[in-house]
Structure 1
Amino acid sequence: MGKLLIKNGTIIDVENGVSFVGAIEVEGNTIKRIVKQDEELPEVPETIDVKGNYIIPGLIDMHCHINEGFAPHFVASGVTTVRNTAGNVLLLHNLIQKPDYAPTPRVYTSDRMIDGPPGQWGGTSYGNFVTDDPEEAREEVRRQAEVGAKFIKLYGWIKKEVMEAAADEAKMIGLELAIDLINSKELTALDAAKAGVTWFEHASGFAQEIYKGWNPLVDQVEWSHINWEEPDQAKVKELCEKMLTYNVKICPTMVLFDQAMSFPNIWSPNNKVIESIEKKKHPVEYWKSHEEIIGVIKESNAVINTLTKAIAKTYYDMGGTVVAGTDTPALMYTYPGMALHRELEIFVEIGFTEIEALQAATVNAAKSINLEDIGTIQEGKIADLVILNKNPLENIKHTQDINLIVKGGKVYNQNEILRSIPSDEDVDRLMQAFMEKWEAEHVN
């Protein structure tokens, strides 16, 4: 990578909430210098004039499940880093090893999730590990650390003593734990926080703590006296105060529930990224299969939808860490990359300012997982930038109006990135090769 100068753009300093016209000098994959408007510009062979445009850091989706088949869609949407919450480190090896400037996102990932029997996604496989044995959980945590997991993901049917053992082992290794308690029958968010779990995906487990005895699998008629559309704010605040003492972090993934509850009137703006996604076999066939059970999906998510929003805003207002994620490609039309823009819209709809929403997908997201070289536009940081046609501080929807993307110092337009998307057949072959190798090594 050579040298690059991006001049005359309005640079948005997401950390301090200010913006100014200036230039960004890039050398290799790194921001070498921020040049203010009244300073002399360096002579650089490749110069891009972005007068009238706005520059933000590359966005970070803090909860997704990435696949090589739609990985470029993230970058085409301005999402240059993703936090992959459960899957398989070895399956993602090719993506993880890509150079900084590749048109696929940087991947910060866990390995397979650790669940309790019988396993919400079935028995032990390449994507989940099912056990009720605390020592087996410890061994699995150690194995995941060895293969390169950046954090450990627990799932909602895990037993309390198994969760505590995994948390203890992860703490000794220096890895954070995340948990999804949406369908938990026994554990609550407070139980997990006390055990040492740091990350609460979907703000899950809060409902089980606020309404003891409730979970999505019990007879909901018994709980019909609760107005789920208007959460008990006093109870939400009381629990958030307790959770704050454990310094937990929340990724609410509100777009996940919003798309399901809005169906068939889903958020689906007309743009080239979504047009490209809709041509893919996966995840479109997966989404369409869920249309057949949309009634069940809506019923199970009705409780979570409004409560999650109340938790996210309350916890943030108390000073807690709340970041932006999507759970792409889960449930209904959580478009890879683009869904994060809808998540930012929802942040603003529930009372965050535009800059606060941006921070949830940039500086605050990066800080929450100690990625010190991304998340802001500063000298010495990796040159991940999104150049927008309109000001996102005036309207958060303007994050969707993308002119150019800079990934690890390389400039792309959306069409260039979308041309790099592998075919469904190539993705199927990669998956088949992985599965053959996995089964040969792990299936007796």
Structure 2
Amino acid sequence: MLLSSALITLWALTTTACDLPAHIQRRADKTAITNVHVYDGTQFSTDLKTVVIVGGLISSAAVTDAPTVDGQGGYLAPGFIDSHCHLTSCSFLTPLRQYGITTGLDMGTFPYSSLKACRANGATDVRGPGPAATVNGSAISGLPGYPTSDFIPNSSAAAKFVAKRVVDGVDYIKVFLDPAGPDAQTLSALVSAAHIAGKLVIAHATTVADYQKATAAKVDILTHVPVDAPLDAATVNAIKSNGQRVVPTLFMMKSILTNTGAPPNFYVQNAQESLSRMYKAGIPVATGTDANNNPFIPANPPFGESLHEEFELLVQAGVSTKDVINGATSIAASTFRINDRGAIKLGQRADLVLLGANPLTDITNSRSIKKVWVQGVSS
């Protein structure tokens, strides 16, 4: 198939530079955001409300003596979460924040310590897995700098891989599914070891066969959608029964298909249709972009802006505007077990984005960003 090498040579990126954003303001001890319609996970309030931030958290404290930000009738939503990006430079945190993304979930920057170096007060929060698990001969195994000592040719190596990542302190485990492997037994061993260690497993899956393998092994999250054929009902039902979740990265898949000269109907008939079938089955959809700057792959979604492109493609695939916003907030937070964000509730992190217009009536209004707070720090 003409797409195979281009589509599978995805998304393993290397080291991160520590060039942190310089525009972040110091967090105020107390702030009141007034005159805003507040999102409750279902709708924005019809009346104007005030949200108080104390010490970086949503608080019930009185507005008295708090510096105020007049929201001027805007729409206050939880900060957006990009559930799939490749943060090979801390400088990418700047566009993420500018486009309302307060959490970026990396999917393959290594070493993990370079990602941790990007964490700073007021900067978009980052999480990651370190290197993805793979085998010798896979599309990513020969990339410059890839840690060949971490190949997982068998079940024993898979368990050792997980143990090393746990020592590194990673947030979750990523596995790259490829025709070369890992095989079903090795993948199952990886998932088992990760779950024993309390880690989620995210699988790179771009074909129906990848989805079936990941479903059989009961990985927690499937990222990307098949481009070779639409998912069949049995696989969709198995994903639903397993309680698995998906991060479809439609913008990335559409871009790759376009840039590699795939038949024009592949995106709609295979990628979009696969996502539509999963969504209609009630499988939770978290929003991710696969934003990256790797010159060796056929598509480079821009950091920040591509999340809003993803929103529009999700709506085109039949996802409701409410579920699109939740996919980048509460659904993303619950999918990755980040329980301190994703909603505007007492005690939650004050990760917030103020919009000038309601994205539930028109998803393109997600771009009407007026102000962003990360743990109470405004930009």
Which TM-score applies when normalising by structure 1? 0.72
Does residue 31 of the first structure (1) align with residue 31 of the second (2)?
no
Aligned counterpart, 1:160: 184
Counterpart of 1:90 (choices 78, 92, 113) is 113
Q: Is the 8 A contact 1:114 1:155 kept in 2?
A: yes
Identity in percent: 21
Runs of 4+ in 1 over 6 A off after TM superposition: none
Alpha-carbon displacement from aligned partner over 1:275-318 (angstroms, at most 9, x marks no partner):
xxxxxxxxxxxxxxxxxxx3xx2329964564222222222222
Say how many residue pairs are matched.
340
Q: Is the 8 A contact 1:203 1:252 kept in 2?
A: yes
Aligned counterpart, 1:312: 275
What is the identity, as a one-letter code, of the residue corresponding to 2:279? Y
Q: Is the 8 A contact 2:279 2:319 kept in 1?
A: no
Q: Is the 8 A contact 2:33 2:70 kept in 1?
A: yes
Does residue 249 of the first structure (1) align with residue 245 of the second (2)?
yes
Task: Return 5+ residue gaps in structure 1 as ranges.
Answer: 35-40, 208-214, 216-227, 263-293, 413-444
Aligned counterpart, 2:319: 352
Q: Is the 8 A contact 1:236 1:310 kept in 2?
A: no
CA displacement at 1:130 relative to structure 2 = 2.5
Aligned counterpart, 1:52: 73
Matches within 5 A, 1:92-107: 92-96=115-119, 98-99=120-121, 102=122, 104-107=123-126
| Shift in CA distance, 335/238, structure 1 to aligned 2, threshold 3 Å | same
Could you tell me how far apart the structure 1 residues matched to 2:265 and 2:248 are? 15
Q: Is the 8 A contact 2:100 2:372 kept in 1?
A: yes
SS across alignment from 1:54: strand
Q: Is the 8 A contact 2:257 2:267 kept in 1?
A: no
Does residue 237 of the first structure (1) align with residue 263 of the second (2)?
no
Could you tell me how far apart the structure 2 residues matched to 1:131 and 1:261 are? 29
Could you tell me how far apart the structure 2 residues matched to 1:314 and 1:120 are? 28
CA displacement at 1:70 relative to structure 2 = 1.4
Matches within 5 A, 1:287-436: 294=259, 297-299=260-262, 303=266, 306-329=269-292, 331-412=298-379
What is the identity, as a one-letter code, of the residue corresponding to 1:337? G
What is the identity, as a one-letter code, of the residue corresponding to 2:247? C
Q: Is the 8 A contact 1:62 1:323 kept in 2?
A: yes
SS across alignment from 2:185: helix
Q: Is the 8 A contact 1:119 1:130 kept in 2?
A: no
Q: Is the 8 A contact 2:353 2:371 kept in 1?
A: yes
SS across alignment from 2:49: strand
Alpha-carbon displacement from aligned partner over 1:296-347 (angstroms, at most 9, x marks no partner):
x232996456422222222222221111100111643411011011111111
Which TM-score applies when normalising by structure 2? 0.83
Aligned counterpart, 1:119: 138
Could you tell me how far apart the structure 2 residues matched to 1:122 and 1:26 are? 46
Aligned counterpart, 1:137: 158
SS across alignment from 2:133: strand
Structure 1 or 2, whichever has the larger Rg, is 1
| Shift in CA distance, 190/183, structure 1 to aligned 2, threshold 3 Å | closer
Q: Is the 8 A contact 2:205 2:211 kept in 1?
A: yes
Does residue 259 of the first structure (1) align with residue 222 of the second (2)?
no
Counting helix residues as a fraction of each chain, which structure ranks higher? 1
Task: Return 5+ residue gaps in structure 2 as ranges.
Answer: 1-27
What is the identity, as a one-letter code, of the residue corresponding to 1:177? V
| Shift in CA distance, 51/244, structure 1 to aligned 2, threshold 3 Å | same
Counterpart of 1:70 (choices 61, 68, 92) is 92
Matches within 5 A, 1:179-190: 179-182=203-206, 187-190=209-212
Could you tell me how far apart the structure 2 residues matched to 1:301 and 1:379 are? 48
Could you tell me how far apart the structure 2 residues matched to 1:119 and 1:46 are? 55
SS across alignment from 1:191: helix
SS across alignment from 2:39: strand
Q: Is the 8 A contact 2:224 2:253 kept in 1?
A: no
Could you tell me how far apart the structure 1 residues matched to 2:221 and 2:265 are? 23
What is the identity, as a one-letter code, of the residue corresponding to 1:7? T
CA displacement at 1:153 relative to structure 2 = 0.8
| Shift in CA distance, 189/332, structure 1 to aligned 2, threshold 3 Å | closer
